[in-house]
Chains A and B, each alone.
Chain A
Amino acid sequence: MQRENLAVPVKLWALGCTIIGISLTDDTILTCVLVMAGFLYLAVQRNWRLLQSFGVFYGILAVLLYLIRNHGLHMVLFSEFYVLMFWNLFAVFLVGWDLITTPPGELSAFMSRIHMPTSAILGLLVMFRFFPTMKAELKNVWCSMRNRGLTAPAQFFLHPAESCEYVLVPLLLRCLQIADQLSVSAVARGAEAPGRRSSYYEKSMTLKDWCCFILWSAVTVLFLWKGGMRI
């Protein structure tokens, strides 16, 4: 089912609320209230994939926290500190991840609306394209190395510097080439045009957006009121 993203201002407000909530709260364990609100917020947007993966991770954290508190569990690699840190910050991760996985077009529409300069908007769009493009390139480089027999363990251990060079040289060259092609593509499609940039995704706040806005405000106030504040 298609994801139905809330407006970007609501997403930013949700992120602000979770940051304020976990920064001021006196009761770390009670941050689960914010996390539950976060799960509801993902469900409203039909972001089932994120809901599923974060839900499983939160469940594991809950089990680990229970074992640490009641059975004295102690792990070497993922110590109590990390478990508590993730538990505490989970609401921020959840809302933050939802924000950065918003389609870049919707983010750029919001940036246009608040009159951000075109160069900043294009910079953001390029940044969002950079990671998937480089991931695909890295996959291609690795595939070529395997095809040419350059990934054998003996090769890696006997010539580590050479192996690194094999990965880095084509990757950096592709990086330059992609940067050039992206610039040409932008210039040839009017990226240098003066004036305010508009957007396909331009949309105003809907009733659902306002409801989520009010819900986050109310949950944060209630959470700080009941859980206590540390100022």
Chain B
Amino acid sequence: MIRLNDVSFQYASGLGGVSEINLTVHEGECLVLTGPSGGGKTTLTRLLNGLAPSYNAGKLTGTIFLNGKSLAQTPQFALARQVGSIFQDPKSQFFSSDLAGEVAFACENYGLPGEEIQKRTNHAISAFSLDDLRFQNLDVLSSGEKQKVAIASVYALRPNIYVCDEPTSNLDREGSRQLALILKKLKAEGCTLVIAEHRLSWLRGIADRFVYIRDGKILWERSAAEMEHLSAGQRKADGLREIIESRNMNVSFSMNHGDKRPILCVTKLSCKRKKTDVFCDISFSAYAGQVTAITGHNGVGKTSLALVLSGLWKEKSGQILINGVKMRPGERRKQIWYGSNDTGTQFFTNSVTEELLLHLERSEERLERTRSLLKRLDLYRYKDAHPASLSGGQKQRLSIACGILSERKILIFDEPTSGLDGGNMGIVADVLQEEAHMGKAILVITHDEELIRCCCDCLIKIDEYGNRA
């Protein structure tokens, strides 16, 4: 059992933290921390796994008890054996380039006997259906596969408590479903789960209690049953994502475009990298004025398709026409914007404003448009901030703003809402629709079905055999 008695934590930098937290997590319970980005969910998970204040320095008041013992008296390495941590971005957390080495890492640190490590590692690999990846380099896995490896590496140590910080932000529907099954299994084994998460629907049947945190404080707690009866109005007021997954997309994807000519026409497009076919024979059209969703399993080649379309990679075969004209990669780069899902390497200047206006003429009209877009995306107060100092969700919105201001006619965004709460997801959906209505063709690579329902007019599903609209 975990108990937090009047706990407050302020980061040494003075930014963020939580205050007056009183919370009890019972053994075998699944507690979900939810609320807007920057509200204090991650800080609370760090307090539970001991990273704050032992790694993230700051001032802690109040007491945290784990099974009756104060965390302040427990060394970090002893705590890490009881509390397993699963983070948001797995790709920069690996210590090994091979699967078994990575999954075994924690067990090795605790000096478990070699045979025991092999037993636990092999069991974790099988439990997560990772056997096929045994001889692959971890660097080439898709983000969903990397997240599975990261979870398996914690699972091998067999902690009693799992603290997860947005574990599904890089997973598709199938990945989330698999994760849900694993968490259900862990819960059935008696493990305690604490999950900080925006996406709530996949937790149905696992979560026992939801805690809403905003501005560092717990504002309310609700049971799973109470959450299911939350009205759409209440949900929207708190900026929450869907709690029950809709059974169908509930949107009519119109395939009738009248006599409109497509702005982007792709025919039998294939891509090959390092002697491996990434995708084959993809054909579709995108129209100005529409938001088109591109979806499919993790690792099926959606990001590669976007890179080829935007001229950043070369195609193996097939044809890409823009306004009826076949274009080479160099020409496509001037027509199509690609907003990557990795925002860490996308920004080059010292301020948000500079970033938006990089290499653009600073006319009064453009400056005004920049200002209004920043306000629309709730970034105006950060206009002079360094892009690196922004949170993950703010970087995602800045990346979208850069794409819109690039004035290219076709914009591709790769998972633009993976780390966004319900409120910000809604804002992004509205902005994408507005830009489409202004005559742009927008393609969104996403697993986020809520986003698809909110703003997409067309859906292209990619599988191993090509695409189906």
Contact = CB atoms under 8 A, between A and B. Distances in A.
A184 B97 contact: no
Given A174-B345, A184-B55, A192 B77 contact: yes
B88 to A, nearest CB: 10
B12 interface: no
A36 interface: no
A2 B135 contact: yes
Interface string B326-349: 000000011001101010111111
Interface stretch (B19-27, B58-66, B112-120, B428-436): B112-120
B337 A147 contact: yes
Contacts of A105: 96, 98, 100-101, 104
Interface stretch (A16-24, A65-73, A125-133, A213-221): A125-133
Contact of B77 (A145, A171, A193): A193
Contacts of A194: 77
Contacts of B135: 2
Contacts of A2: 135
Contact of A187 (B76, B107, B310, B402): B76
B87 A189 contact: no
Contacts of A148: 348, 358-359, 402, 406
A190 to B, nearest CB: 4
A193 B92 contact: no
Contacts of A165: 348
A147 B333 contact: yes
Interface string A117-130: 01000100110110
A103 B97 contact: yes
B51 interface: yes
Chain B contact patch, size range: 35 or more
Contact of A196 (B89, B111, B139, B154): B111
Contact of A145 (B105, B348, B349): B348
Given A184-B55, A190-B110, A193-B111, A143 B85 contact: no
Contact of A197 (B96, B111, B118, B344): B111
B95 A126 contact: yes
B51 A188 contact: yes
Interface string A159-178: 00000011001110110011
A174 to B, nearest CB: 5
Given A187-B51, A190-B80, A200-B118, A147 B312 contact: yes
Contact of A181 (B93, B111, B113): B93
Given A132-B97, A137-B345, A190 B340 contact: no
Given A184-B93, A197-B109, 14 more contacts: A118-B109, A136-B139, A140-B342, A141-B345, A146-B333, A170-B344, A170-B346, A190-B77, A190-B109, A195-B111, A198-B111, A199-B108, A199-B114, A200-B101
23 contacts: A103-B101, A105-B101, A112-B108, A129-B94, A132-B137, A140-B340, A140-B345, A144-B348, A148-B406, A150-B358, A169-B349, A170-B345, A171-B345, A174-B345, A184-B51, A186-B95, A187-B80, A188-B49, A193-B109, A199-B108, A200-B107, A200-B108, A200-B121
Interface of B: 49, 51, 54-55, 75-77, 80-81, 84-85, 87, 89, 92-98, 100-101, 104-114, 117-118, 121, 135, 137, 139, 153-154, 157, 307, 310, 312, 333-334, 337-338, 340, 342, 344-349, 358-359, 388, 402, 406
